[in-house]
């Protein structure tokens, strides 16, 4: 029998499939080789929002103002199937074909620069029950790679966390825990993060750390 979670995912997948069909019709032909970052962003905006603010319906995180190195790194990971190829990764499987509309490294670089240049959008909390004070203690080991302010660190490949929505952070932690993200043998950064997420022992610990991350300004 299907679990409540799989039924919920199924209903959600119907709603998103209808919306995504519209995206694919709009972008049925590949981007031209000389497409600028701004022009490529018209595709991204279909799911990540007109100003890159993100969209919970699609599970698409905010990307406006995200560090350029991180955006381009993740786009290459999606293109290579290092991320977003796991059978249970509904959101990653949505993003992966989109990354392939970018036809060369230059297009990846240009759209990454464009996204990084967009002003960050402040995000309202959606999760309840997290204790930011307890989350602050839990976050102490995370600072080594993500920084005390959650700005991320290219030296450790620690993703920028400030500016992400709480639902996306929570879901990402769940995915690392379950090996839905970070388990491809080529994903050395994901493997590091998979080890770290194990210190968050239960849902409450994940909610607490997310509540603390939500206090960062972007």
Where along the sequence are the contacts to ligand HEC (CB under 6 A)? 20, 23, 40, 43-44, 46-48, 58-61, 63, 71, 74-75, 83, 91-92, 94-95, 98, 102, 111, 115, 141-142, 144-146, 156-159, 161, 164, 169, 172-173, 189-190, 192-193, 196, 199-200, 209
CB count in 10 Å sphere of residue 186: 12
Q: How far is the CB of 127 from ligand HEC (least distance, A)?
A: 13
Which CB sits closer to ligand HEC, 1 or 194? 194
Q: How far is the CB of 39 from ligand HEC (least distance, A)?
A: 10
130-161 burial code (b ≥16 CB/10 A, e <16): bbbebbbebbeebeebbbeebebbeeebbbbb
Q: How far is the CB of 3 from ligand HEC (least distance, A)?
A: 20
For the record, the structure tokens of 50 come out as 């007109």
Q: How far is the CB of 141 from ligand HEC (least distance, A)?
A: 5
How far apart are the C-alpha atoms of 104 and 161, rounded to whole Å?
A: 27
Q: Is the dihedral of CA 178, 181, 184, 185 positive or negative?
A: negative
Q: How far is the CB of 27 from ligand HEC (least distance, A)?
A: 8
Which CB sits closer to ligand HEC, 6 or 154? 154
How far apart are the C-alpha atoms of 175 and 187, rounded to whole Å?
A: 14
Which CB sits closer to ligand HEC, 1 or 47? 47
CB 33 within 8 A of CB 103: yes
Which CB sits closer to ligand HEC, 120 or 209? 209
CB 195 within 8 A of CB 189: no
């Amino acid at each position: 029998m299907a679990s409540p979670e799989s039924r919920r995912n199924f209903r959600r997948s119907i709603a998103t499939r209808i919306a995504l069909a519209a995206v694919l019709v709009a972008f049925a032909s590949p981007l031209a080789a000389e497409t600028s970052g701004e022009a490529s962003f018209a595709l991204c905006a279909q799911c990540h929002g007109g100003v890159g603010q993100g969209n919970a319906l699609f599970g698409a995180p905010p990307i406006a103002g995200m560090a350029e190195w991180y955006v381009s790194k993740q786009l290459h990971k999606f293109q290579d199937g290092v991320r977003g190829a796991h059978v249970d990764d509904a959101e990653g499987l949505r993003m992966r074909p989109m990354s392939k509309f970018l036809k060369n490294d230059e297009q990846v670089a240009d759209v990454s620069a464009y996204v990084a240049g967009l002003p960050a959008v402040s995000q309202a909390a959606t999760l309840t029950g997290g204790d930011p004070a307890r989350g602050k203690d839990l976050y102490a080991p995370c600072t080594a790679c993500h920084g005390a302010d959650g700005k991320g660190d290219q030296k450790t490949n620690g993703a920028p966390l400030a500016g992400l929505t709480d639902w996306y952070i929570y879901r990402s932690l769940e995915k690392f825990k379950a090996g839905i993200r970070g388990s491809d043998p080529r994903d050395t950064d994901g493997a590091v993060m998979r080890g770290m997420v194990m210190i968050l022992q239960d849902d409450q610990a994940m909610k607490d750390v997310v509540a603390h991350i939500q206090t960062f300004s972007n």
